[in-house]
Structures are given as C-alpha cells and as structure tokens.
Structure 1
C-alpha cells in the first residue's frame, strides 16, 4: 500500500527536531491544492447553500416549525464561481496588507461565504482561524481576542451579534466584515461583484516564504466543558488528513483482493454529499470539505441539523454520501420519513464514539453502501485510525489500525510506562499530523505533548496483536465503583442493545460508601415514545436478563429523557449537562428514601410502645 511509487508512498523527515514518517506525494500547501482542484473541476456544480433566512419579528417557538428549516431558497455555485469570488476576496485582502502568516478568522454557519473566505485566506498564504459560531457572545469575543486575528469575516447572524462591539474600545476587536448583506457590519458584496486584476494572486506574488511547515489553520478544541483551546497546525499537519483519508478504502480493497482505488479524476461521475456538521470543526473542514474539493463532489449544506430537513434534501438532491458524527447517521436510520428504497454509496462517521450496534444496523439497512469509521482529535487534525469493510463489521468496537504515518502507544496513566499488548491504558499518539501547539498556552501544550512528540489523547484503550486500536472511554468518563473501573461505553453499548433505546449516556452517581455508582440517561426510539410499557424498572431488568454487564456495572438509576440528549455543535453528548440533571434526581430519590425509612422507623417505635 505504501510501496515506492504508490500514491501512499512515505518518506522520513526531521520536523521540529523529531524524525517522522510523512506522505511523500502530499500537496505542500493548501493554496496549491485548492488552486489545482478549483481549476480541475471548474465547470462542475459545487455548493448548494441555503440563502440567509429572513429576520422574523415574532420567531416561532422551539417546538414549532421553523422556516429556517423548510425555506427552499438556495444558491447553487460551481467550482469556478467559488474560485472567482475567492480570487477577488484574496486581492482585497492583499490590498489591506495581509499575506503569509496573517490570521483571518471565519465565523458563521455552513454556506458559500464561509468556503469562499476559507479559500481566499489560503490563496494569500494566510492562517484560517475557525470561530465556533454557536458560542455565546462573551465566548465569541474571548475567542477573537485570544487568537488576535488581523481580520474577522462573518455571516449575517454573527454580524448582528458582534457588530455593535467593533467600536467599543474595551473589546479591542479587529476589523470585521460580513460576507452577505448586513446592517451591523460593512459588507463584502461589492468586493465579490467588482472585477479586479487577480493575476498577482494566481502567480503567488509575495508568497516566496509559503511552505509545508508554515502555519495554516487554527481550530478550537471541541471539548464539552470549559473554554476551548486554540489548536494551531501547519500546512503539512492539516493536509496530512487528505492522504490519511485514503488509507481505509485502500486497505479494504487490498484485503478483498482488489486494486487500490485510483486518485479522483475529472471524468469520474460526480457524487453528492450532505454536509451535516459545522465547517468550523476539524471533521467538517478537513475530512468533509477537503474531501469534496479532492473528488470534485457536490456539497449540500444546511443551516443547522434537522432530521426532517436532511431527509427532504437527501431525496430532492439525490444525496449519495452521508455521515459526520454517529448521531447524524442514527437520526437518519431511525427516521420514519426516510423512503424505504433510499440507498447510499458511502456512510462515514467519526468525531464521537458510535455504539457497537451501529455498523451492523447500517449494513442491514443499506447493504450495498460502503461503511467507513475514523478516529482522531482536533489536536491530530482528524485521522489517527480508520477502518472500512469486513474488518469493521467483524469487530465493531474496532477503531482500526493507525494510518501508516502515525504511531500509537498505550501507557499507564500515572507512571506513563508502556503497557503490554492487549492491556487497557492511556492512548498516546505520535506523527506529523499532531498539532504544533495550543496557541498562547505553553503550559497546556507541555501537558499535552511530551519532549518526544507523544500527544496525550485523554482516551483509554488497548492495541491488539495486529496493532488494531480499541477505544474504551475518555479517561475522565470512567466510573469508579468501589475500586472497580467501569467504562461508560460498556454500559452504553449494553443499553443500545435494547431495541427500544435511541440514545444512551452513562454517568457517575455519588454514593456514600462506594464513591460512585452507575447512572444512565436514555431516549427512546420514535416508535416507543408514546407507549407506557418502557419504564426504568423494565430497562434495568432487560439489561440484567441479557447478562452482558457485570453486576456492579448495571445502572442503579435510568432516567428517560424527553427529546434528544443535549449535544455540542459537533454531535458529542454533553455529559456534564446530563450529570447535573440525573444527579439532582438521584439526590431527590435518596432523600425520599431516607424520609420513608425515617417514617417507617417512627411508626415501628409507636407500635412497640403501644404493645408495651
């Protein structure tokens, strides 16, 4: 697969003082890659994006229907039109003095303007800073100030939120512009519509210092608690994901006795994919958007995730590729609105742990579709491991072998000594795709990456004799019951095995004697929501009857949650929110039991005295 002359050929280099394996044929910069693909597929349809939603005087309630989900007003642009807009914006940036290394922050929903801003920044050798658009105003301002960009480009919603603060001296914000119409910030519409000389941009004038080891992207970590960290990576670090994404299909083909799939060609049939996760997330940008550039795919975008709107677009636009995070796939799988004859070419997910039952459920529903799972982090620019084909179906808890440029190590979380094969411990990762640093936080960087370049992932898992990785849990999510370590994933998979469970999250509950016991919050599948047969006692009884969990791992309390479990914008379940909800009920239940026992005790005393 990585033999000399192959597209996945590797070579050794010394980068940042460390010897690593790198992809030999990887494009050196985003600029070179983007110019090539935009020219190659110039006449193809590229983006289908919802137009800005009209502002409402009386917004609908959260539970009602929203025109933001059903409005069919969309713009469709070709690869060539994206290039034309991007070149004009890049020329405008250069006139403002921006160039190699200049940080440009991009904030907004998935739309054409976002992608044009991304391309334009890289055409001048800049660094794209991806603002988490769904953060509250205070955290948006904090994110801007801590990364200190030269320029901020926003959609109309973020312009309305941040526009009034541009001229407040205390906020110390840089120049901000809106890529669509706005009454809160200067707009870039005239920039897009006005022809200019873009030949200096095409020639790369002034970009002599641009190279693979230069800074390229800043993503904010997608943690589910606290303020996010700004993850800075170089051109090579971020672009490595493009080549790493070819590993799983290549390996699956070889295992099946087939040749490795060739690089995409302009003559290949165009496929349409549904972009269901934010572009400001590493998976949305580096795995989905960059793959669409690479293959010349058509991209269907949504304002925000909504299952009914997603299915409407899937049917209308003939979407052939779906995925993102497991929650997206699960929502489509379980929706009664999906036509029974709907098929897909590929289902790909990563970014959050899937249930052990998802792979076989996907293949049962769409047997001819390819199934790919990836494991990685923001700090590794997505791919660390990937798996596709029969290997994944045979071992559903598998995350795959590491991509060839990457090394794994399982260590004791306390001593950091390497553990034997098969033993569960803390996962460390090393390779050329590991981030450069947490911007502006040397202490956090030193805690995350040791002197030899090993990144602490915060995940616990093990590696088998074949070098395949199994992820058990986040280290911080392990439940310790009387000295017994219980991974939340083993409890969640036992719950997912019950046919009426839609979503599940295992969390610790405080216990006076044992320290912690297992609790769980679940949602029911749509067909079960209106029955009264499913209750806590039945769920716990069914888990015990299956015998897949040790007695001490069976939940002491199961809360049935109305509606989807709370998630961050990247589809990860917010366990900290669920802990607060279920622990409050747990304490209430303990109090009620205590009062009941106290009342029963007093009744016994009265009875004894009466007899005396």
Structure 2
C-alpha cells in the first residue's frame, strides 16, 4: 500500500459545516453564506455567489420548462465561463446529469459522444454555435434568449448522494470515448484534499488555465465555490500575458501543467515580479524535473503540490505536498506522492493481481469513495476495470518505494501526455488505419521540448501505396483534435513483434526516443 496523507475532514464541508454530497447544493450553500463575494471574474464582468446561484436556478427552470426530467443529460460545449458553471449547477438543480464536452474534438468525435450521451439539451458557447445541427435533440446557442423571463426560483431538487451527479467523457484504449459517471459523494470526497492540503479559503483567488472539460479544471472551479474563493476565468494568450495576469490579479492558487510552468520561468520579467500573493501552484500529468522545481521554488516562493489521479477517480488520489518538494530526499520529486487517507492505492501484478514488493513495477489499483460509479451504458467496460470489491484498475504502471511513495512508469495503456492532454494511441491508430494507403501503424510518444511528449506514427504502407507523411497528418487532422494528431510519420517495412505476434511498442519508443520534436 502507498503511505497516506492525513487531513482533518475526509469529505469537503460547506460553510455551515455540513458535508458536500450533492452537486446542486454547491451554489445554494455558498450563496447563503457569502452572497456578495465575487464567485467568478471574467473578461465580461464579475458574478457574485448570489448571482451565480440565481443564474443557475434560472437555467434549472428553463430546463424544466423544456421538459428535462431527472436523470436526463445536459451537455455544455464551450470555453470556460460563468455560463458553463451556471449550466452545470442549473442542470444539477433540475435533477439532470451535466457533462462538459471537450472543445478540441473533431466533428465526427462530437457525433459519437452526443449520440452516446443523448443529451436532452446541448448548450453551445459562441465559438461552437455552428455545431447546433449535430445535437440529437434541443440545442441552445444564445443563453440569454433561451432563458427569457424564467424566474430565479430554485426548484429544490435533491438527488441521492450515490446517484450519478456529473459525467465526463474520457477516451480509452479501445479508441471510443466513455462516459465516466461520478456521484455527489465522490465529488465531496475528491474536494476535501483540495480545500485542506492546498489551503483554499475565503479570500483566495484561484485560476486554472485548464479546460473545465478536464476533471482537474472543473474540480478546482467547484472547490472554489465550496471554499468561497474568487475564480478567475481568463485565457492569457502568451507567457507575457500569463505572467501579468497572475501578478496583477493577485492569484493565490494556480493550476499549471509542468510544461506551462517551465515556459513561464523562461519569460522575461518573471524573475523580478512580485509573487508574494501566490501561495500554491498545483500541477499534475507528470513530475517536474528537479532543476525546474528548484528554480520555481526560488522564483515564486510558494508551495508546490502535485497530484495523481484519473477522471475515473474524480481527480487526484495521491499528493506530493509542499513539504515533500523541500525534502532533502530529492528522489521524491520523481514520485506522485502519497495517497489521501480515504484512498487506497496498491501496485499489483497485472495478471495475478497479487501485490508486488516495494520497488517492483506493476499495475496501479485505486479504491475509495471518490472512484466512479461506472461507465455510462457500458457495463462490459465497467467490469473490465472495476472489481466487485471496488478496486479500479488504472492501467498505469507504477511502483512503491520503501517510504511508501508512488512512482509512475511506462503507461500500461501506452497513453501519451502532450501538453497536459491525454492522447490514446489506439484512437489515433484507428483513424490512420482507415487511410487506404496504410497497412499497419503504431503510434508512440517521443520527447518534445515544448509539450513534454508528442505522438508520432510509425507506418507500414499498403502494397503499391505511395502515401506520404503530410497526407497522413492531414487525414488525421480532419478526423481528430489536433493535439491527438501525429507531428511526424516514419515509414518502415515492418513493425517489431514478438514470437506471438504482439507489437513491441517499447522497442519503437526506444528507437525514436532521440527524435526530439
């Protein structure tokens, strides 16, 4: 077992001391406690907690007016905004299940997800209004016009704490996105570490230049509501803008992926800026190299917190906290830290599922109240990863050291992390194989100075085919989000396989590791 980190409350608490167990209660309880504090600060103005509560109630009334029933799905496709949060909370107040869709997908990917989720209503941000005709049912392209004159009356719905409260779509190795069902109870248990380990409280100013269709971004947004923090919704277009934004807006809590942090440190003026308000930088997806974290600690003077988790675990289940980052044992910086008290983490043999000794690589398993309920309408996929006694197979390869710290290694699912985005090779391979000039393909990650990793495709051409790299890359860009597409294509006569015919991807990764992109 991984060593655990203790904290005072296993479940996040509202301002009145009651446990967070229902998504719909988040704006209600905060508006009662601190109605006039700014909940969201965006380019187009500020919204108080009372205003957010009222707006979400109007959304709930509009959904009920349009025939939405408890358990129906309500989808939002758009950039981070107060409207996204209002739809999220409003759908919950109506008893529906909200889901935020990835804004970077290609049209065929939207078609599949919308067909699978079958939302009763799809709310579109301005940049995605052109996708209205892809919605199976009703679509909303103008929120104000859709709301009309509905009252800001809370319908008062309260679902069971173990009912599905929120759904994310997460791609898997099968190449098809799966709806991850998260309960209110799971959300409450996942929020507790953020509020306590990261010291989120009244007066904090938080920002996450991370899309809310990712569990990390949305969890920070919802935790800000619970803690009474101001959430800044801005999208700096450059490192210079990000530097000014963090300093001028007196940000206290920032979520930054390692590649973004490294780029920020290289920005002129960062070394001499006033970082006295910045208290915590939260990061994930990969460890930060020791020289980078040492420089970041010197420059920013704040605490760094790393967390490992999945969409299926409602976010982080382990933490490498501020004390760990300053520990003389710098080997801990390469770890994902220790498990939170309510999360059990094991490393097992992936075949026998027996625990392996410290230092031995195996598959990481997680159990706890923050683990998903299951995959939407996919019991077979659920059974494949979730045991009867609650253990979730993460598909990640890891080991535990003698001190109980979890170290992550090669991903069992071959996932590539590019600029904080998860890229699943099977999904990309499926698209490339559809090209008539391709006989075989393997997609692997190679080091990238800018993104940490980038996908490349190793391709065997079909007989008499003359397809070239540019043509294949263009083919994928028409069918996939650009961050999933290969940045290079290598053509080979055959892919490496073992005696049983199994593809040896580790050989490809080793062969192309020197191809820095």
SS in structure 1 at match of 2:394? strand
More moved, 112-121 vs 416-425: 416-425
Structure 1 match to 2:56: 86
* Cα separation, 2, equivalents of 1:443 and 1:451: 13
Q: Relative to structure 1, is the Cα distance of residues 573 and 308 closer, same or farther in structure 2, using a 3 angstrom cutoff? A: farther
Structure 1 match to 2:165: 216
1:143 equivalent to 2:106? Answer: no
* Cα separation, 2, equivalents of 1:155 and 1:332: 29
Q: Relative to structure 1, is the Cα distance of residues 273 and 38 closer, same or farther in structure 2, using a 3 angstrom cutoff? A: same
Deviations 1:359-401 (A, max 9, x none): 323212222x121111100111101101212223332112121
* Cα separation, 1, equivalents of 2:30 and 2:410: 38
1:281 equivalent to 2:218? Answer: no
1:438 equivalent to 2:375? Answer: yes
How far the C-alpha of 1:434 sits from its partner, in A, is: 1.1
Structure 1 match to 2:363: 426
RMSD after superposition: 3.5
Q: Relative to structure 1, is the Cα distance of residues 354 and 2 closer, same or farther in structure 2, using a 3 angstrom cutoff? A: closer
Q: Which stretches of structure 1, 4 residues or longer, exceed 4 Å deviation after superposition? A: 222-225, 572-576, 584-587
* Cα separation, 1, equivalents of 2:260 and 2:493: 30
* Cα separation, 2, equivalents of 1:339 and 1:356: 18
* Within-5 A mapping of 1:531-542: none
* Within-5 A mapping of 1:258-269: 264=201, 268=202
* Cα separation, 1, equivalents of 2:54 and 2:169: 29
How far the C-alpha of 1:447 sits from its partner, in A, is: 1.5
Query: 299, 303, 306: which is aligned to 1:365?
Result: 299
Deviations 1:209-268 (A, max 9, x none): x1211111110115699332211121112222111324545xxxxxxxxxxx6x83xxx4
Q: Relative to structure 1, is the Cα distance of residues 121 and 519 closer, same or farther in structure 2, using a 3 angstrom cutoff? A: closer
1:296 equivalent to 2:228? Answer: yes
Structure 2 match to 1:349: 283
* Cα separation, 2, equivalents of 1:335 and 1:232: 40
How far the C-alpha of 1:122 sits from its partner, in A, is: 1.5
SS in structure 2 at match of 1:30? coil
* Aligned 8 A contact 1:323 1:329 in 2: no
* Aligned 8 A contact 2:10 2:342 in 1: no
* Cα separation, 2, equivalents of 1:291 and 1:573: 30
SS in structure 2 at match of 1:26? coil
How far the C-alpha of 1:416 sits from its partner, in A, is: 2.3
Q: Relative to structure 1, is the Cα distance of residues 193 and 354 closer, same or farther in structure 2, using a 3 angstrom cutoff? A: farther
Q: Relative to structure 1, is the Cα distance of residues 330 and 317 closer, same or farther in structure 2, using a 3 angstrom cutoff? A: same
Q: Which runs of 5+ in 1 are unaligned?
A: 11-23, 51-73, 167-172, 179-186, 250-260, 479-487, 493-504, 508-515, 526-567, 588-612
1:410 equivalent to 2:347? Answer: yes
Deviations 1:45-70 (A, max 9, x none): 222224xxxxxxxxxxxxxxxxxxxx
* Cα separation, 2, equivalents of 1:461 and 1:38: 43
SS in structure 2 at match of 1:429? strand
How far the C-alpha of 1:297 sits from its partner, in A, is: 1.9
Query: 4, 20, 28: which is aligned to 2:21?
Result: 28
Structure 1 match to 2:32: 39
* Within-5 A mapping of 1:247-262: 248-249=197-198
Structure 1 match to 2:181: 232
Paired positions, count:
430
Q: Which runs of 5+ in 2 are unaligned?
A: 12-16, 426-441, 452-476, 495-517
* Cα separation, 1, equivalents of 2:178 and 2:288: 25
* Cα separation, 1, equivalents of 2:326 and 2:255: 17
Structure 1 match to 2:438: none
Query: 449, 452, 455: which is aligned to 1:523?
Result: 449
Structure 2 match to 1:245: 194
* Cα separation, 2, equivalents of 1:241 and 1:452: 20
SS in structure 2 at match of 1:396? helix
* Aligned 8 A contact 1:127 1:217 in 2: yes
Q: Relative to structure 1, is the Cα distance of residues 585 and 575 closer, same or farther in structure 2, using a 3 angstrom cutoff? A: farther
* Aligned 8 A contact 1:333 1:362 in 2: yes
Structure 2 match to 1:481: none
* Aligned 8 A contact 2:162 2:183 in 1: yes
* Cα separation, 2, equivalents of 1:339 and 1:77: 33
Query: 150, 160, 175: which is aligned to 2:138?
Result: 175
1:129 equivalent to 2:99? Answer: yes
* Aligned 8 A contact 2:309 2:318 in 1: yes
1:374 equivalent to 2:307? Answer: yes
Deviations 1:241-300 (A, max 9, x none): 111324545xxxxxxxxxxx6x83xxx4x23223200011100101x1022112222222
Taking CA–CA contacts closer than 8 Å with sequence separation of 6 or more, which of the two structures ends up with the larger relative contact order? 2
Q: Relative to structure 1, is the Cα distance of residues 306 and 226 closer, same or farther in structure 2, using a 3 angstrom cutoff? A: farther
How far the C-alpha of 1:466 sits from its partner, in A, is: 3.6
* Within-5 A mapping of 1:299-310: 299-303=231-235, 306-310=238-242
* Aligned 8 A contact 2:21 2:187 in 1: no
**Highest Rg: 1 or 2?**
1
Structure 1 match to 2:515: none
Q: Relative to structure 1, is the Cα distance of residues 524 and 155 closer, same or farther in structure 2, using a 3 angstrom cutoff? A: closer
1:383 equivalent to 2:316? Answer: yes
* Cα separation, 1, equivalents of 2:321 and 2:103: 32
* Aligned 8 A contact 2:317 2:340 in 1: yes
SS in structure 2 at match of 1:291? helix
* Aligned 8 A contact 2:347 2:365 in 1: yes
Q: Relative to structure 1, is the Cα distance of residues 326 and 225 closer, same or farther in structure 2, using a 3 angstrom cutoff? A: farther
How far the C-alpha of 1:308 sits from its partner, in A, is: 3.3
* Cα separation, 1, equivalents of 2:162 and 2:65: 25
More moved, 351-360 vs 212-221: 351-360
1:473 equivalent to 2:410? Answer: yes
Q: Relative to structure 1, is the Cα distance of residues 222 and 273 closer, same or farther in structure 2, using a 3 angstrom cutoff? A: farther
How far the C-alpha of 1:524 sits from its partner, in A, is: 7.4
* Aligned 8 A contact 1:34 1:119 in 2: yes
